[in-house]
Structure 1
Amino acid sequence: MRRMIASVVAMITAAGISVGVGSAAAAVPPGCPEIYVLAVPGTWANGRSPGILRAVTSGLGPETRVQFVGYDATAFPWEKAIYGKSKAQAVANTTGLAATMLRRCPGTRIALTGYSQGADAAGDVASEIGTGRAAIRPGQVAGVVLISDPRRSRQDNLIGPPLAGEGSGGPRLDGMGWVKPRAFTICEPLDLYCNVPRDYFITRVVGYLAETSDPTPSQIGQYQAEAGAIVAELLTLGGPGKIVEELSNARAREQITIFNAFLKSGAHGNYAAFQVRPGVTAVQWAHDFLARLA
């Protein structure tokens, strides 16, 4: 009887090993990367000139494949596309590339990264996946790292010094969902795109108008929530009189002056030098994070 039990155990063990090997082979067919990094450049950048994402994604290792996501990457009506339409294109292209890879290589895991408008788009894709609004499963996402995300939330996993503000476009309504433990955000404290003080209402309204400049139907709830948050916070300041003051020409001129100073400061383009930890720049941290995924 003992010999029979031992034989059965041996057979089960052998079968388990065989199934495990077969599953691994099916999960990662030849030519499929372990990690597929989709990198979404910022406004006015592209795959040939992806800005800081070139350094973020270079030399990640043989098991990782990098794809820069092409899209209009514009912001104004006189360019190819206004901001909202441009970002929607980036979201669609990122999702499409991920889905195409996963159909061919079901064992490959997706990583998302982006800078500025690209972080806005990559973050929306991560949020849709993490909250179950996409065909891609949360478990298929290995990691997310966003740099200067205009929709950064105080609830996001921040790498670097603590910040009091949030993104200029308002935080994502549903956050990152199941992807949150593997999703990280980086923001230079002086970068108003990702760290607008909550009482900069003119700047927040401008950010809101940019996000809604070409509305995406699936984002209507997000638009309504951010509009409601702005109005509610204005009302808590002291009623209609305070609202008029906050939205006055004087307040607008003040914030325009502050925003112009921010643009001249170079803070938005400082991520190759900005240290999130002593001796570790934002670009280095993002690169090392992606490199460890494989």
Structure 2
Amino acid sequence: MRKVLTVLAVLILVVGIGLGVGKWLTTQQPGGPVPAPPGKEEGGVLAEQPEWCPAVEVISVPGTAESRADDDPLAPTANPNSLLLGVTGPLSESYPSDKVKVWTTPYPAQIKMHQAPDQLTYDDSQAVGRDVTSKEMADLHGQCPMTDFVLMGFSQGASIAGDVAEQIGAGNGPVPAERVVGVALLGDPRRDPNQGVNENVDLAGVGIELSLQPVAPIVGTVVPGATMRGPRAGFGPLNDRVHNVCVPGDTFCDVPPAVPDAIARAGEMFAMAGAHATYAFNDAAIPGTTPLAWTEGWARGLIDASLAR
């Protein structure tokens, strides 16, 4: 009887080992585990991407006087001379809208001055731009968690786009940092040469909001509601994906770190003239090309890479 029980025990052990090995083999492949089912990981969770979702959304934030709060984000008409239309227009023509969504932030794009008292203040205009941009990104990400984002901005719009990138890099933005494949800031009033990637030639100056921060109360007497916030905290994991482009001598992004005549400089800041108006054709920032052409080529490279994944 003892022998019979011993044989039965051995048989049970062998069967148990066999079942365990079989189960282990079904979960192993040479070189690693069986690949996960179709889909991609998003924050450690397998994400579902509805078929209608675009692979990429390009978000463009226009500069001062280049947008309106009620403008159509898919077909903006507020200012036909808006700089970044020179990028978004060709992109819209080149890629199918079901694969690449091109969206332009509609916001006031205003600066209140004594000669324009009915305008929204610089700070308030930017706040609206940040909120509208962030809402669009959050809404699309909520429905399409694997869609990539390309973000660009010019002038006041660069300040907005950079601020949104700062929030995303800090982990409290509208989308996770891994979903943002690139950010381009043209003529950024908060340009810090120690943050992001400088695509322009070496410049001694900084963004005007950094330069004039120490004398912000004086600036406020010329431009009410422009508080000159100084540098951003940084872009975190997005740092190598944020690109600065500044034309030498631009009174928005290439200002001496210490300006002796703050009142005169504040007036220049909002003149929207000089080098700040040359991004479509000036080749001094990036020798051999213009900021506008560079931005289009940069965006196409990111879009093509996202579509290929």
TM-score range, shorter chain: 0.7 to 0.9
Distance in 1 (CA, whole Å) between partners of 2:235 and 2:191 is 11
TM-score (norm 1): 0.72
Match of 1:76, SS? Answer: coil
Aligned equivalent of 1:195, options 230, 251, 254: 254
Aligned equivalent of 2:126, options 65, 83, 87: 87
Match of 2:173, SS? Answer: coil
Q: What's the offset of the Cα at 1:293? A: 1.2
Distance in 1 (CA, whole Å) between partners of 2:235 and 2:261 is 27
Is it true that 1:136 corresponds to 2:172 in the alignment? no
Is it true that 1:74 corresponds to 2:110 in the alignment? yes
Is the contact between residue 57 and residue 290 of structure 1 (CA under 8 Å) also seen in structure 2?
A: no
Relative to structure 2, which stretch is displaced further, 136-145 or 95-104? 136-145
Equivalences for residues 202-281 of structure 1 within 5 A:
202-203=261-262, 259=268, 263=271, 266-275=274-283, 276-281=285-290
Distance in 1 (CA, whole Å) between partners of 2:31 and 2:234 is 44
Aligned equivalent of 1:284, options 276, 282, 293: 293
Relative to structure 2, which stretch is displaced further, 67-76 or 41-50? 41-50
Q: What's the offset of the Cα at 1:15? A: 4.8
Distance in 1 (CA, whole Å) between partners of 2:177 and 2:47 is 20
Distance in 2 (CA, whole Å) between partners of 1:174 and 1:127 is 7
Is the contact between residue 28 and residue 34 of structure 1 (CA under 8 Å) also seen in structure 2?
A: no
In the alignment, structure 1 segments of 5+ residues that lack a partner are 207-251
Distance in 2 (CA, whole Å) between partners of 1:106 and 1:158 is 30
Q: What's the offset of the Cα at 1:181? A: 0.7
Match of 2:234, SS? Answer: coil
Correspondence for 2:83: 52
Q: What's the offset of the Cα at 1:264? A: 8.7
In the alignment, structure 2 segments of 5+ residues that lack a partner are 1-17, 68-75, 211-229, 304-309
Residue 109 of structure 2 aligns with an amino acid whose one-letter code is: A
Is it true that 1:119 corresponds to 2:150 in the alignment? no
Match of 1:89, SS? Answer: helix
Distance 1:278 1:188, change over 3 A: closer
Q: What's the offset of the Cα at 1:106? A: 0.5
Choose between structure 1 and 2: higher helix proportion: 1
Distance 1:119 1:8, change over 3 A: closer
Distance 1:201 1:130, change over 3 A: farther
Distance in 2 (CA, whole Å) between partners of 1:99 and 1:256 is 35
Is it true that 1:183 corresponds to 2:242 in the alignment? yes
Residue 176 of structure 1 aligns with an amino acid whose one-letter code is: F
Equivalences for residues 145-164 of structure 1 within 5 A:
145-156=184-195, 157-164=197-204
Residue 158 of structure 1 aligns with an amino acid whose one-letter code is: N
1:100-145: per-residue Cα shift (whole Å, max 9, x none)? 0100100011221111000011111101111223252211211100
1:179-203: per-residue Cα shift (whole Å, max 9, x none)? 1110001111110111110121443
Match of 2:190, SS? Answer: coil
Across the aligned residues of Structure 1 and Structure 2, the Cα RMSD in angstroms comes to: 3.0
Correspondence for 2:35: 16
Q: What's the offset of the Cα at 1:7? A: 6.6
Distance in 1 (CA, whole Å) between partners of 2:287 and 2:101 is 29
Distance in 1 (CA, whole Å) between partners of 2:167 and 2:234 is 9
Percent identity reads: 31
Aligned equivalent of 2:208, options 163, 168, 174: 168
Distance in 2 (CA, whole Å) between partners of 1:282 and 1:149 is 13
Residue 269 of structure 1 aligns with an amino acid whose one-letter code is: A
Match of 2:208, SS? Answer: coil
Distance in 2 (CA, whole Å) between partners of 1:57 and 1:27 is 28
Match of 1:65, SS? Answer: strand
